[in-house]
Amino acid sequence: MKIPALLFLPFDLYGEMLAHVRSVPSEEVCGLLGGRESNALLHFPIENVLHSADAFRMEAQSLVDAIYRMEQHDLILVAVYHSHPHGPGQPSPRDLAENAYPEALYIIWSSHAKSESGWQMCVFQLSSEKYEEVPWELV
């Protein structure tokens, strides 16, 4: 499957992710977006069982449930997201090494004082050695 060159993100899903990021600003939060091709349609916030500020691991049953729900709706995994509360606005070496879904885009939310929301979102295509920023558009 080809990774989308552009992510179309509904405004309500953007708001749901931002609310999730803001709900636990001292930890990396994480989740999935399901959709079709480059269009995100469903948001699945998932607990970070590490409760860490610099790493995440999705709670296993919630991850399985989200993938199953996507399959029920004939959707694919469009993107994986997580936050970097104290880190950079791009993938870390750990993000590259632990890239479990190479067919999906990766969204990183980083703390950004100049942003009205206090957070900035960037979208990336990852490989084990590098990353490339991908444009996105609110719809």
- Which residues are tagged catalytic? 27
pLDDT digits (tens, 9 = 90+) for 24-70: 999 999 999 999 999 999 999 999 999 999 999 999 999 999 999 99
**H or E stretch including 17?**
helix 11-23
Has residue 16 got a pLDDT over 90? yes
The conformational region for residue 41 under phi > 0 = left, psi -120 to 50 = alpha, else beta, is alpha
- What's the pLDDT at 2? 59
Tell me the C-alpha distance between 20 and 112, whole Å: 16
- Pairwise pLDDT comparison (111 vs 2), residue with the higher score: 111
Per-residue pLDDT, 114? 62
At 97-115, the pLDDT tens digits run 899 898 899 999 998 756 6
